[in-house]
Structure 1
């Protein structure tokens, strides 16, 4: 199914959560890239312009958190769709940059998939040559 799906980048520093989420998103028919830090995510976004959506945790180690990364991405790629999550922060919609959607942890993967598909306006009909295709 990969190769004709929407491209998503999951940014999550907790390896077990990231592994589980990536697997579940792939099972839902999405092509998924993954990163453990915002710095790694920015590099992947630069190397893979086919990525349409970023699903990122806010609380991450490294030089920036998910909010700062979202701000940087919106400045360079205003077309990029972003979905934020956190298990520690409760963020008001009015406090999010550009009214970026927020889903608190724990979340249901079906809800995440639904959000991603509504953000792209597609139901898995886009083209994505994801990481499993050597991109």
Structure 2
């Protein structure tokens, strides 16, 4: 059974690119353009095990606040945060989360996801 991933990115082309790569590499991908949409998907799809979110997004919360909300409501979900505009310090992220700066290589994201899921090095 494929691992369910939620990709949250307001820039459609960036979201489509990583979502397509992950789907081609065996992940079940769900997509959201905002944190509000992401929360609705997480409530509807309890199988999601990974969140990959941009920091800067429109709506009621950014990716860091979304990450904190996900850690609180869905503790088993692993989290990777990304941004091309700023660097998130470890203290800004929920425990056990990763930060990856844009531009990133999709293969590196997939490897990081596998590492988070297996508890190994990322």
Give TM-score, length-normalised by structure 1.
0.84
Q: 1:117 aligns with which of 101, 114, 117?
A: 114
Q: CA RMSD in A?
A: 1.3
**Residue 96 of structure 1: CA displacement?**
2.2
Flag structure 1 segments of 5+ consecutive residues without an equivalent.
Answer: 123-135
Match of 1:29, SS state, is: coil
Asked which structure has the greater CA Rg, the reply is 1
Partner of 1:34: 31
Q: 2:87 aligns with which of 61, 73, 90?
A: 90
Partner of 1:60: 57
- Cα distance in structure 2, aligned partners of 1:65 and 1:32: 21
Partner of 2:73: 76
Moved over 6 A (4+): none
**Residue 95 of structure 1: CA displacement?**
3.1
- Cα distance in structure 2, aligned partners of 1:25 and 1:64: 25
Match of 2:37, SS state, is: helix
The structure in which a higher percent of residues are strand is: 2
Is residue 106 of structure 1 aligned with residue 106 of structure 2? no
Larger RCO (CA under 8 A, 6+ residues apart): 1
- Cα distance in structure 2, aligned partners of 1:30 and 1:97: 23
Is residue 46 of structure 1 aligned with residue 38 of structure 2? no
- Cα distance in structure 2, aligned partners of 1:44 and 1:92: 27
